[in-house]
């Protein structure tokens, strides 16, 4: 039996990782540590919560005593660290909370692992990070590889870059067994509807404007969330300790093209005439410091661990749009309260 601490397991990607690990590895006990911020939702884990190999712990990764106690009380063998503030727009409004959670929270977990793990045999600290640490690409032939120099451009990516550096510093200085992965934009069920894809599907459903930042020419590289979870599984079990893996699906889309695809798919599934919701597309002021293009080269992960995405983008988009249209109550529950205030501040009524 291994005791695995997954942080941020009630969030978007974390919930898919918790589900995969609980189902595939009954010999592991999964401890899900999550503060249940606006982005954490235990409803995402309804199908897992009764499993004998799953325990939820409500707590803050910045809480020094609470985190130390988790390591000793539950004899944690490995960490998969996903808890973070994850939305770039929020980091522009409130950078300090990103430094607190993403930098200090990660450091607190590293320190607790170092203190608890006298014997490092079979221990692992897996840090889940983002491609945004590499900055913004301007040459169309360029891709982010694992050795691309860090050049974070937003408070969010600066906080994630800092946390990555701390993880590597602990590996180098204290010999902590670590692995880092940097992934591109995820999409799929259970993503909080402040991010482009769920926000726009929800707005199409309600006939609300689709606020495309700037010219809509920014490019993102999209991966289905379950494929990211499968990659984490492969790296957790077979990744080289001390190493870094980029995760991505070689699937670049200009924002405006992606938005038109979402509109066409949603209109079809809603039974609207073709092109019906195109009128909702509204170009708005650009995000401050908006990174132009992200594009991940994940060939190392494919070459060394045999991972590749399981889903074609067309199928993933269809599944995703259908999930949000079918799960209107989930959307209503997560968009009430604090999120309604945030939405008014960002986009007006
Ligand atoms: P999310 O915002 O959906 O979920 C974050 C989770 O962390 C929530 O459940 C929240 O309650 C929890 N959390 C926040 N602060 C906490 C704290 N102080 N203590 C304990 N729990 C806390 O995020 P996500 O999109 O699922 O991203 C998960 C991780 O993957 C993040 O580290 C993010 O940087 C990284 N990542 C995300 C993407 C993406 O496209 N979403 C891509 C690459 C990497
Ligand atoms: O690349 C990985 C990163 O992807 C993760 O590390 C982040 O946690 C995740 O939030 C995501 O960051 P982005 O900023 O790329 O995702 P977001 O969904 O916020 O925006 C995607 C693109 O769409 C981006 O170019 C900004 C644009 N956009 C976004 C919103 C919310 C709009 O045009 N309008 C919007 O209202």
Q: What is the pLDDT of residue 89?
A: 98
Task: Identify the residue whose C-alpha is closest to ligand 2 atom 23.
Answer: 196
Residue 22 has pLDDT above 80, yes or no: yes
Q: Return the CATH number at 93.
A: 3.40.50.720
Residue 226 has pLDDT above 70, yes or no: yes
Contacts of the segment 202-207: beta carbons below 8 A, 24+ positions apart: 202/324, 202/331, 202/335, 203/280, 204/262, 204/263, 204/266, 204/267, 204/270, 204/277, 204/280, 205/266, 205/270, 205/324, 205/325, 205/328, 207/277, 207/280
Give the domain range for residue 29: 2-190+222-250+293-312
Task: Identify the residue whose C-alpha is closest to ligand 2 atom 25.
Answer: 218
343 band by pLDDT with thresholds 50, 70 and 90: confident
* Overall average pLDDT of the 85-109 stretch: 98
Q: Active-site residue numbers?
A: 131-132, 156
Total domain count for the chain? 1
Whether 271 maps to a domain, the answer reads no
Whether 8 maps to a domain, the answer reads yes
For all residues of the chain together, what is the average pLDDT? Answer: 96
Burial-class residue 184 by CB neighbours within 10 Å (0-12, 13-18, 19+). Answer: buried
Whether 208 maps to a domain, the answer reads no
Whether 202 maps to a domain, the answer reads no
Question: pLDDT of 114-155, one tens digit each?
Answer: 999 999 999 999 999 999 999 999 999 999 999 999 999 999
Residue 294 has pLDDT above 70, yes or no: yes
**What string of DSSP letters covers 205-218?**
HTT--EEEETTS--
Q: What is the pLDDT of residue 175?
A: 97
Residue 39 has pLDDT above 90, yes or no: yes
Residue 291 alpha carbon to ligand 2 centre in Å = 10
339 band by pLDDT with thresholds 50, 70 and 90: low
Q: What is the pLDDT of residue 342?
A: 72
The pTM score is 0.97
* Overall average pLDDT of the 300-304 stretch: 98
Residue 292 alpha carbon to ligand 1 centre in Å = 23
Residue 87 alpha carbon to ligand 1 centre in Å = 9
Q: What is the pLDDT of residue 248?
A: 97
Q: What is the pLDDT of residue 289?
A: 98
Residue 187 CA: which ligand 1 atom is closest? 40
Whether 198 maps to a domain, the answer reads no
Ligand 1 and 81: CB distance under 6 A: no
Q: What is the pLDDT of residue 348?
A: 79
Whether 279 maps to a domain, the answer reads no
Whether 137 maps to a domain, the answer reads yes
Q: What is the pLDDT of residue 344?
A: 77
Whether 123 maps to a domain, the answer reads yes
């Amino acid at each position: 039996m291994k005791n695995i601490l997954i942080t941020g397991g009630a969030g978007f990607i974390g919930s898919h990782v918790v589900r995969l690990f609980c189902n595939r590895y009954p010999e592991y006990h999964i401890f899900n540590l999550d503060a249940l911020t606006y982005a954490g939702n235990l409803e995402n884990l309804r199908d897992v919560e009764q499993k004998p190999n799953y325990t939820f712990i409500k707590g803050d990764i910045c809480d020094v005593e609470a985190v130390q106690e988790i390591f000793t009380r539950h004899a944690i063998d490995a960490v998969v660290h996903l808890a973070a503030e994850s939305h770039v727009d929020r980091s522009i409004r409130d950078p300090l909370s990103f430094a607190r959670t993403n930098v200090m929270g990660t450091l607190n977990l590293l320190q607790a692992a170092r203190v608890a793990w006298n014997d490092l045999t079979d221990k692992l600290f897996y840090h889940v990070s983002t491609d945004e640490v590499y900055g913004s690409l301007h040459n169309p032939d360029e891709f982010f590889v694992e050795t691309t120099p860090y050049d974070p451009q937003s408070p969010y990516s600066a906080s994630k870059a800092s946390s990555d550096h701390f993880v590597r510093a602990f590996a180098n200085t204290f010999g902590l067994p670590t692995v880092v992965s940097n992934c591109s934009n995820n999409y799929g069920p259970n993503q909080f509807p402040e991010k482009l894809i769920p926000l726009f599907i929800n707005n199409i459903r309600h006939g609300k404007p689709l606020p495309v930042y700037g010219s809509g020419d920014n490019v993102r590289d999209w991966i289905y969330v379950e494929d990211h979870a499968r990659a984490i599984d492969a790296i957790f079990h077979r990744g080289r300790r001390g190493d870094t893996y980029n995760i991505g699906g070689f699937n670049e889309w200009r924002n405006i093209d992606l938005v038109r695809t979402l509109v066409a798919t949603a209109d079809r599934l809603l039974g609207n005439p073709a092109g019906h919701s195109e009128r909702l597309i509204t170009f708005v002021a650009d995000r401050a410091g908006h990174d132009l293009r992200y594009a991940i080269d994940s060939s190392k992960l494919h070459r060394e661990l045999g991972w590749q995405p399981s889903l074609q983008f067309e199928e993933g988009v269809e599944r995703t749009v259908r999930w949000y249209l079918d799960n209107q109550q989930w959307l209503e529950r997560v968009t009430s309260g604090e999120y309604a205030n945030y939405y008014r501040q960002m986009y007006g009524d």
